[in-house]
Structure 1
């Protein structure tokens, strides 16, 4: 998959998952089933793992559930309620185990115990007890804030009102669900009373728990399995297994299918056994959850942004179906990527109606991959074809095959557009890429609108009340055509006949709230601003890395400006090297890329070279991203739009690092083999103490931590006079800071 393909697919997935999240968590009316939802998230996570710089502001990876619904009080979780990463194959499970071992520095021969338990298809719940008394209960909500369902939870028989022998403070977490027998009985009663029936037990459980009248909940047969905990004043046990035993002794139901396993093979054995008995369990499950058993190791492994490293959900597979390809629609993404989407005759696949599928690019439609090799046996896709849709695997949904015997006689090969359908600008395909891009830039409405949506998103400027629909409306009115227009909106359209308040669906109160949110958004940390610019490849993580390194917009912009000539030299060198390699291959000789690069770089001024090396030397920032940044800031229209936005913003100074940290503000490079911690742990610890971690040694490097096997980096550090420590010296330096 190319970068352009990945970007287009992430846009599609964000839209689909955002809609599904709201339907599932906020409305209790899912549009797709759990298997499809999980497969979409898997696809999104896999692309983000491969292309971290493309991570979007509305990335499903950063979303847990949905915002609490109106009508309920709100409870903020003391410890965030997270979701789980997913595994779908035996290879995924083996990789889950391998990742943990790599992070912990364990070998394949080291014992590592896990627990395996059925993944209940219900509604996540957190129940807080203080001095043994049930204080409140909340749904997961968006992971940080949930709905106050305390009165309803008190009616569930599986939830004790008081605990004897529990820690003074204990938050018990688990799943509210409904058994198959109880669900059937409930639907029978509902039908008899001419009331609403439910589509499945999960919907019934969620709808029952989220009743404003607790007496309705009391009449519904809800159950609860405890499987985790949040805030706790004293540890429940040393292991996951021991903690579950403790919860059972306190009076909670814990799943009797839970098993302790040594290694991936044992996990798979439990998974196969539970899958075989799935229909006999009496309640819905959609997979098996694996967790590291040792709680000390769980703490050491820690968390990603929305998922723990020490757990994953091994999900059950999905299904396939045949349908008709009615048409091919073209979408234009934020960076101009032109993406084809299959419009299908709606078909039910595993209980879910599927009406479209991604087609990636023109090569995919033509029946070949980016290397020119055949896919689907080289069969192209044509409007009118009967196609097989597969809802699992690399593309969700994916066209698996074509029934040539059913191809209409008048079906023609698809002619991929060479101009943008939004603005008419040429759509070009760069050498080495498989995706065409609109060259219209800021004159292309699709790109402008997508950038504006990206900028106001939660991970960027986070302007409450300015969502996708509002952005589209203000753009259609030509009130907001570039980012800076957002911050002058009140000045231009804050009052009068042509004002925000005068629009249909608005009023003085809602307009005032929007303007207040815009004013709040004027003050932003540098990382959010960088991410919000929508520069190609510049994701949320890269934005934080750049902000941490440069510290201010002025320093960042000065570095980019200085690196401009070097960026162009790098581009020329890569083009020349590619041409030389092709020519050498044709002539049967060995290419000399080093000589070519040296020739191209010879005329680059030292200041430009140093600025470029500084940027690409930042850990996590490579040449591809650095080129995209230079391109954006050196393009006149782009720079003018960025400068206009910056004039409206106040960039916050970086957060002060505790003075007690001995490495705060230092640039640190790790090289060689670390023996007492993994590289990931070392980097995380250094950054937590305020250090900047770089991937290369330069004159700005303050400290090199060298383990056995250190090579060229240690030699360069010695030449530059950089302070060097071994691993023990590094640990002594940071101590308990």
Structure 2
């Protein structure tokens, strides 16, 4: 395909993808299946890679994320993104109505659900999405445009658009997406997000938009901030108008003249809130007419024309029937309470985590007790307290692993009880999922479902078995086929060239994350060097410590670990580090903080120089900071460095230090 043909095809694909994205994510009325949509997206990605000049800033391919960001730039909001006064009773709603009627006659109120998410601003010029920012403190937020482009319900281009429009919306994580994320975090034995709002906020502020793209965020637009070229008179009219432009507008908004009808609608939203596919924590009541809003004005903190009614959290008592023990990827035994089913926040729950032995001891939990369970805007129920003791002894986590029969140990200075058998079958599935994950060996196509099928068909018993798989074995699995099998074999082959640090992280050594794995690979250079390293040599690495060093030695002292490594070597996996300890380590032990604008280098270039010479960078100033490198327009970090007597370097002085 020549350039002109590619140009026409890119335009066709862009129009089709924008249309079908709106049908699926905004109108909830898809016309094609996911496979067809993905096929068009992959074709567009391939064409833009072949002809980079055809890649537009708002191309649908931006939905999958772009380059990682060094930082978020500040955005000053032209129109303040204020907050609303919270009220907690129907009497307060009636009092709000009385105050409004003292100023304006016959107000009309718009009532809408209050989405529990993260407030953002979206700006469009001539119909094109040009900037998105967080609320921040209401006056200044952060530019998260690249991350917001990955939210598929945000239109990248508007139809019949005004010259300029700014809207405000709430980015949220649907309950289904949150469930999937928490499940994946638990399988990797990461600390899961507590609730969808925290998950949405953490996902939107990822420095890497590709990570944000995997989190399946959504948005509801609920307010018009600025508009050029058109005059609107009321809130409902503005919502209707934004919907006509293609925005995913807040659902279920209705107008009422009587406060009694407003209260009835608030009750109705509360009674049905658990049937929504997203979390809400209240209902918002707003005066509809914009002119009346001007008359009502605002206090120093809140507008006088709106309030947010907050629903109370739910707690219920239930009898604890038994406690189930699950064995995690690193061998940690996690207790789960099984209790008589109760309805909380509209869903039936009968399970809640008990965390660890310390948590059980603190609350004195025994089987047969009546426990208080809470689900306050959170998907995961929690045991709050024991309401009535049933007379049994406080539960003890067993000293024998329920999956393999090996003895368990409670780690020194830690709450976790652990099975120390690396061949424990309960750990196999989670170990393999972690091994293949994006931050570890990054084996594309080897997701949890495929790994589970491989284990169920007795095809893999360790990570080394993955590299012995044949295409015909994979193709015989459900939902795979020859093409998927060939792609997976190719992905396995590609993973063999990964840096040593990825393999070390993939082993899942307790407390050894990506950063620690990089430190180990860089310090010892090869797998053999790492295997032969003493605990003292490992703990001497800046950023490691005695406990982490012991976990590393415990892993490499296991005969099963050495056998696994030998098999991986035989399979052709790389056992060398791409980056080793620098010959010139003049900045070893020094920590730098960067601020302001540099004239000859980018911040990433400066960071690379510091790390190449053995130093570290940090984002915050403290007494432990060795130097602040200050460029032009240095702000609060410079002031803080001066107050802490931290040495300050100019760009020229830094270049002289590192030349």
Q: 2:512 matched to 1:532?
A: no
User: C-alpha separation between the residues in 1 aligned to 2:461 and 2:337?
Assistant: 30
Contact 2:148–2:154, Cα closer than 8 Å, also in 1: no
Tell me what 2:328 maps to. Answer: 333
Contact 1:381–1:414, Cα closer than 8 Å, also in 2: yes
Tell me what 2:373 maps to. Answer: 389
Q: 2:616 matched to 1:616?
A: no
2:550 corresponds, among 627, 635, 643, to: 627
User: C-alpha separation between the residues in 1 aligned to 2:651 and 2:233?
Assistant: 44
Contact 2:127–2:159, Cα closer than 8 Å, also in 1: no
Q: 2:607 matched to 1:687?
A: yes
- Offset of 1:686 from its aligned partner? 4.6
Contact 1:448–1:482, Cα closer than 8 Å, also in 2: yes
Q: 2:445 matched to 1:522?
A: no
- Offset of 1:423 from its aligned partner? 0.8
* Structure 1 SS opposite 2:587: strand
User: C-alpha separation between the residues in 2 aligned to 1:255 and 1:669?
Assistant: 62
User: C-alpha separation between the residues in 1 aligned to 2:25 and 2:333?
Assistant: 33
Contact 2:25–2:153, Cα closer than 8 Å, also in 1: no
1:433 corresponds, among 390, 410, 414, to: 414
* Residue correspondence of structure 1 range 412-451 to structure 2 within 5 A: 413-442=394-423, 444-451=424-431
Provide Cα deviations, 1:187-237, integer angstroms capped at 9, x if missing partner: xxxxxxxxxxxxxxx9xxxxxxxxxxxxxxxxxxx973479xxxxxxxxxx
- Offset of 1:341 from its aligned partner? 0.8
* Residue correspondence of structure 1 range 660-675 to structure 2 within 5 A: 666=585, 668-669=587-588
2:527 corresponds, among 557, 563, 566, to: 557
User: C-alpha separation between the residues in 2 aligned to 1:476 and 1:173?
Assistant: 48
Provide Cα deviations, 1:466-518, integer angstroms capped at 9, x if missing partner: 2223323322433211111111111xxx33xxx33334444333333332332
Contact 1:226–1:254, Cα closer than 8 Å, also in 2: no
Provide Cα deviations, 1:409-429, integer angstroms capped at 9, x if missing partner: 7x5653532211111111122
Structure 2: gaps (5+ residues): 1-23, 27-32, 42-59, 85-113, 133-144, 173-196, 198-218, 236-262, 274-278, 284-309, 597-601, 617-623, 629-645
* Residue correspondence of structure 1 range 594-609 to structure 2 within 5 A: none
User: C-alpha separation between the residues in 1 aligned to 2:484 and 2:151?
Assistant: 24
Contact 1:323–1:346, Cα closer than 8 Å, also in 2: yes
* Structure 1 SS opposite 2:466: helix
User: C-alpha separation between the residues in 1 aligned to 2:124 and 2:81?
Assistant: 25
Contact 1:668–1:705, Cα closer than 8 Å, also in 2: no
Tell me what 1:636 maps to. Answer: 559
User: C-alpha separation between the residues in 1 aligned to 2:231 and 2:404?
Assistant: 61
- Offset of 1:641 from its aligned partner? 0.8
Tell me what 1:162 maps to. Answer: 161
Tell me what 2:204 maps to. Answer: none
Contact 1:72–1:147, Cα closer than 8 Å, also in 2: no
- Offset of 1:129 from its aligned partner? 6.2
Contact 2:124–2:164, Cα closer than 8 Å, also in 1: no
Contact 2:586–2:613, Cα closer than 8 Å, also in 1: yes
Q: What is the number of equivalent residue pairs in this alignment?
A: 424
User: C-alpha separation between the residues in 2 aligned to 1:664 and 1:287?
Assistant: 60
Tell me what 1:398 maps to. Answer: 382
Tell me what 2:468 maps to. Answer: 488
Tell me what 1:507 maps to. Answer: 481
User: C-alpha separation between the residues in 1 aligned to 2:561 and 2:233?
Assistant: 57
* Residue correspondence of structure 1 range 71-90 to structure 2 within 5 A: 72=37, 74=41, 75-77=60-62, 80=65
2:340 corresponds, among 337, 345, 348, to: 345
- Offset of 1:689 from its aligned partner? 4.0
Provide Cα deviations, 1:590-628, integer angstroms capped at 9, x if missing partner: xxxxxxxxxxxxxxxxxxxxx446x522xx333322222
Contact 2:627–2:649, Cα closer than 8 Å, also in 1: no
Change (3 A) 1:631 1:254: farther
Tell me what 2:568 maps to. Answer: 645
User: C-alpha separation between the residues in 1 aligned to 2:483 and 2:594?
Assistant: 60
Provide Cα deviations, 1:406-450, integer angstroms capped at 9, x if missing partner: x3x7x56535322111111111224433332113222x1112222
User: C-alpha separation between the residues in 1 aligned to 2:315 and 2:223?
Assistant: 34
- Offset of 1:142 from its aligned partner? 9.4
Tell me what 2:641 maps to. Answer: none
Change (3 A) 1:464 1:317: farther
2:434 corresponds, among 429, 454, 462, to: 454
Contact 2:527–2:576, Cα closer than 8 Å, also in 1: no
User: C-alpha separation between the residues in 2 aligned to 1:732 and 1:324?
Assistant: 68
User: C-alpha separation between the residues in 2 aligned to 1:651 and 1:317?
Assistant: 55
Range with greater deviation from structure 2 (726-735 or 468-477): 726-735
User: C-alpha separation between the residues in 2 aligned to 1:394 and 1:665?
Assistant: 51
Change (3 A) 1:223 1:429: closer
Contact 1:80–1:143, Cα closer than 8 Å, also in 2: no
Change (3 A) 1:402 1:393: farther
* Structure 1 SS opposite 2:533: helix
> Which structure is higher in RCO with an 8 Å CA cutoff and minimum separation 6?
1
User: C-alpha separation between the residues in 2 aligned to 1:556 and 1:253?
Assistant: 67
User: C-alpha separation between the residues in 1 aligned to 2:358 and 2:230?
Assistant: 59
Tell me what 2:15 maps to. Answer: none
Contact 2:319–2:340, Cα closer than 8 Å, also in 1: yes
Change (3 A) 1:116 1:382: same
* Structure 2 SS opposite 1:400: strand
- Offset of 1:388 from its aligned partner? 0.2
Provide Cα deviations, 1:140-162, integer angstroms capped at 9, x if missing partner: 99977554886xx98xxxx6623
Tell me what 1:191 maps to. Answer: none
Change (3 A) 1:670 1:412: closer
Contact 1:533–1:642, Cα closer than 8 Å, also in 2: no
User: C-alpha separation between the residues in 2 aligned to 1:124 and 1:542?
Assistant: 35
Contact 1:126–1:173, Cα closer than 8 Å, also in 2: yes
* Structure 1 SS opposite 2:351: strand
User: C-alpha separation between the residues in 2 aligned to 1:78 and 1:616?
Assistant: 40
Change (3 A) 1:734 1:163: farther
User: C-alpha separation between the residues in 2 aligned to 1:447 and 1:683?
Assistant: 41
Change (3 A) 1:510 1:347: same
Provide Cα deviations, 1:131-185, integer angstroms capped at 9, x if missing partner: 65689x9xx99977554886xx98xxxx66234268xxxx9884599xxxxxxxx
TM-score using structure 1 length = 0.46
Range with greater deviation from structure 2 (446-455 or 631-640): 631-640
Change (3 A) 1:176 1:479: closer
* Structure 1 SS opposite 2:654: helix
Contact 1:454–1:460, Cα closer than 8 Å, also in 2: yes
User: C-alpha separation between the residues in 1 aligned to 2:579 and 2:396?
Assistant: 56
Tell me what 2:221 maps to. Answer: 224
- Offset of 1:630 from its aligned partner? 2.6
Q: 2:351 matched to 1:356?
A: yes
Provide Cα deviations, 1:259-283, integer angstroms capped at 9, x if missing partner: xxxxxxxxxxxxxxxxxx9969x99
